[in-house]
Structure 1
Amino acid sequence: MSRRALTLLVSGFLVLALGIGGAVVDVPYVVLSPGPTENTLGDIDKQPVIKITGRETYPTTGALRLVTVAYQGGPTSQIDLLTALRGWIDPTVAVVPQETIFAPDRSQKEVEEENTIEMTNSQDDATAAALNELKIPYEAVISVASTVKGKPAEGKIQKGDRIVAVDGEPVTRTDEVSKAVRAREPGDPVTFTITRGGEKLDVTVPTVAAGGEPIVGVNMQPGYEFPFDVDINVGDVGGPSAGLMFSLGIVDKLTEGQLTGGKQIAGTGTIRPDGKVGPIGGIPQKMVGARNAGATIFLTPAGNCAEALRAVPDGLRLVKAETLHDAKLALEALASGKGEVPSCSG
């Protein structure tokens, strides 16, 4: 056998060995890629993404698309080396250390469950923000998420209870409850007025010291009682980053006219009940997903503008969104061709 043929044979074996090794060797990385988009004004499996009952709604056109990031990998389904290498080569995806997505002390299932809870909470916050924007009143409530095992509230206060007063003083925010409890001395009792199954009850709970402060062992979460029903259906999508697009979809359905102007608009951002838009992760992949879906305008949280400018796909216009009100005004200006449209570039 000639030296050249031997060299080619050995090289071929090495390439084959590396290929086989790369296909079977797992690596602790996660591949992030553009995920599917959903039109919040449209349907999923013949069901509306946003369904409003008990209030007049108006027809809409165009699209207000929420965007997502798909991932491969995780503690229970690690990717192989070849998948990671392909990701490093592909400019539309990102390969990140596994621990940036899944903390070492949390399982993949726990992260996914947390994302589901965040999505549910973001839907409520989005509805509250939309109603605030439209000056539609609603009631803020405090729900009991859980009680801490071994603490005084266990067995006395239950998950799902609503706290309406502390020692006779009405409360509507979780921080008001916490402040009232911390005003006691450890060992002092606190009387909670709660509603449970439509019945109002007074429940007295002693405090105990924890970290030098009095507590009763109640985990709370803010909630709302809206004057009509807003149901949001997004399938398996998790996390809080669709809040802005949910709010805009609700606003569009509850007001006359076409907020989109018939355009294909995508965007992202968390939302607070006061309408403040927060930054999110995976902005490069979300912009690619938006452009692949035909969007020409991308509503971008102000906190993501710098990163977005470095990776924006051709044909996608970045519109800066600091609040729901700002985003609504920007869309109205785009639809009419009049008014200022805030940009990530200035």
Structure 2
Amino acid sequence: MHIQLGMLHGAALRMSAFFFLSGMLFSNRRFSTWKSYAQHKTKVLLVPYILLSLFFLALDPVLYQFDAFFPLSPKMNILGIYPDIQNAFQYLGWNLVKIFIAGKSSIGSGPLWFVFNLYAISLLFFAIHQFTSGRKIFLFLFALLCLGFGFFLNRFHLHFPFGFERICTTFFFFALGNLCKNFLLRFEKQKLFVLLLAFFFAAIFYAIFEKPDPNFSIMNNDLGKNFGVFILSSLSGIFALLALFLILNRMPSWKIILVFKGILRNISRNGMIILATHWWILLVLRIVFKSELDKPFWAWISLPIVFLGMIFFIPLFRSKLNRLIAKEKISWRESLSIR
């Protein structure tokens, strides 16, 4: 696309914040054994990851007009390999390798790599949490070890099946989120001006430390060359985001604030659908309308197209294709509700 819409400037924040928040929400109350926990996570994460990956692979236009569309499609990076693909059959085969071996989903639903990654680090964290009896110092030391090993693999461009290298890196943020839960509960009770100052300074630090890089990718464990900059930018960005959420929670119950909060809740409920479908829509636009969307003005047309696509896909998956995402069937009105 011609425009990046600020996405590069949020690269160090997006996925690290997601795994941090996931760690905050970790709980073993309902599932007290590793087996029961693994069965639950397999049902709600691994199975939807596989089914959605295959679903959007079946909708990939490259499979049906390979010669015309393959040159315009994103290039695959599988375990550090850029395969030489000559036909639709090979394209299909490498997509299956991408789904089941690399843990990165198909080209048509690329962002779903986070689902498999979350599945893996959730099971790993549960096991370590049980083994250490939840002792924070041991959890923190193991998280640091994982982070250091993940960055070591990044520096030497080493890749393993199932995204082992990015599992190491992202495990740190998941564990840190869990370890910081009590601190954030206390921080939430601070006065509003304290939250505002925290957000202001954290945002300033993020702007200082964050270095936009088009090659940065947690999915590929490509973290840049400076370990300190990566950590400082990620942590300051996470803290700024959390402070912003706490500030919004203190805001008066004005209608515009309630609407904004409702939109965020809807996004959190339907995040898996939104990430997969928005990427597929952009993929189709990139392939079919690339020449038009490379122009500065027409690039903005992609925004309402993606928005309308979400309005269509969210009810479709929640009311008709709910089994693909392991969700209970609800009406289209409920699926789009922002209350």
The interval holding the TM-score normalised by the smaller chain is under 0.3
Higher helix share: 2
TM-score by length of structure 2 reads 0.24
Q: Which has the higher Rg, Structure 1 or Structure 2?
A: 1
TM-score normalised per structure 1: 0.23
Higher relative contact order at CA 8 Å, sep ≥6: structure 1 or structure 2?
2
More strand by share: 1
